Structure 1
Amino acid sequence: MKKFSVLMLLMSFCVSFSQSKNEKEERIPASEFPEIAQGYFNIISHEVKYLKYYKETDGDKKSFEVKFKYKKEHYSAEFDTLGKLEDIEIVIKKRHIPKDVYSAISKYFDENYRKVVVVKVQKQYVNTTDKPDRQFIRKVLEKPFNKHTHFEIIAEIKTKYIHELREFTFDRHGVFEKSRKVTTSSYEHALY
């Protein structure tokens, strides 16, 4: 029985290790950002605060991210290397998650972990419509409290065997979709 327990622990460690967020983020000038995506923000650059451009690598994946503050909300928009929008995220407080949704998220945490400390919460918007990226971005900026597609939560979790920082993705109803370990090298910029 002990051999089986050790084997299960090792397998869960391998799965956890293979699904880790090991992002490296580097601030870049706007001129190095994909031109098409940069154009989306040139139009509103006078309306936003702290418009900053970044290049990210996460293993083999490369992407670009723009971070800014607009109407007192903190946004980030991520693009692939060709300038196609991947997602838009808005930092929110835990209390801004609807009660029924947070209840479903809490139930997941209670069933799977001994202790959970929420560090950061974001609403995530993925363009699943046929709208062009520019139009979709504008819609999110104009009505940030409209329907979003996901919640992304960074939390410190504890089980009997582990204590680590993880990034969780839940759908807009609070149904768990995926999680991955956040490494210490990506921890600092993950908190913006």
Structure 2
Amino acid sequence: MKYSYITLMLLLMLGLKSFSQTKLEREHRIKKSQFPIINMDNLPLENTRYIKYYREVDTSKITYTLKFKKGKMHYHLDYNEKGILQNTGFRVKEVDIPTDAYASIRSVLNANFKKIKIKYIQQRYPGSSENVLKNTFQNLILPSNTYKLMLRGKKIDKKEDYIAIFDAEGNLIKTTMALPANYDRVLY
């Protein structure tokens, strides 16, 4: 009788652990009419190309992203459901990041992964700061910047996609596993 209670408690704890979920996050393209109403007057959208609208559904929130190309830079502006700016940013390469910050980013990645392939890097600005659009389009390096890396990493035997976010000094803020691309449109 004594062992049946212990066995029952062990099975209950294992059962609860097996129903846990990972954070589901998926981004898909939407029409302009489905995008929230935002103030386009203060956006410098002259000489822009490829304006696209996206909706990212997460388990905790919904984010709307406006992506466009201005010059040779790929910009993104993230908004919440009410049209309030959350953060901004653009794609960068390794040479655009300060050398000491990139060295610490690389050392953290090498410590956590056996093999790494970086797909892209975004330099991001928090939307709560003043003059966030001005700072974004002037490509300023500020202490409030963050770097978002989309990478394919190999930990033990399996390669998987990860999203890693670092601060301006190269310290790791968080790492999450990215979902694979949605191939619902492919028919076999």
* TM superposition score category, shorter chain reference: 0.7 to 0.9
Question: Residue 96 of structure 1 aligns with which residue?
Answer: 96
1:10-48 Cα distance to aligned partner (Å, 9 max, x none): x8x998x6245x31312212x33222344544xx33331
1:105-140 Cα distance to aligned partner (Å, 9 max, x none): 1111121111111111110111343x2xxx421332
Query: Going by fraction, where is helix more abundant, 1 or 2?
Result: 1
* Counterpart among 165, 172, 176 of residue 161 in structure 2: 165
* Counterpart among 29, 32, 35 of residue 34 in structure 2: 32
Query: Which deviates more, 110-119 or 171-180?
Result: 110-119
2:181 alignment partner, SS class = helix
Question: Residue 23 of structure 1 aligns with which residue?
Answer: 26
1:76 alignment partner, SS class = strand
Structure 1: how far apart are the matches of 2:157 and 2:92?
30
1:69-93 Cα distance to aligned partner (Å, 9 max, x none): 1232110011000111111121011
2:156 alignment partner, SS class = coil
Write the letter of the residue equivalent to 1:150: T
Mind listing any 5+ residue stretches in structure 1 that lack a counterpart?
A: 1-10, 188-192
1:36 alignment partner, SS class = coil
Question: Residue 5 of structure 1 aligns with which residue?
Answer: none
TM-score with structure 1 setting the length: 0.75
Q: Percent identity?
A: 22
Alpha-carbon RMSD: 2.5
Mind listing any 5+ residue stretches in structure 2 that lack a counterpart?
A: 1-16, 184-188
The aligned length equals 166
Tell whether the 8 Å contact from 2:87 to 2:128 is kept in structure 1 after alignment: no
Aligned pair in 2 of structure 1 residues 167, 38: CA closer, same or farther (>3 Å)? same
Structure 1: how far apart are the matches of 2:22 and 2:136?
33
Which structure exhibits the higher relative contact order, with contacts defined as CA atoms closer than 8 Å and separated by 6 or more residues? 1
TM superposition outliers: structure 1 runs of 4+ over 3 Å: 37-41
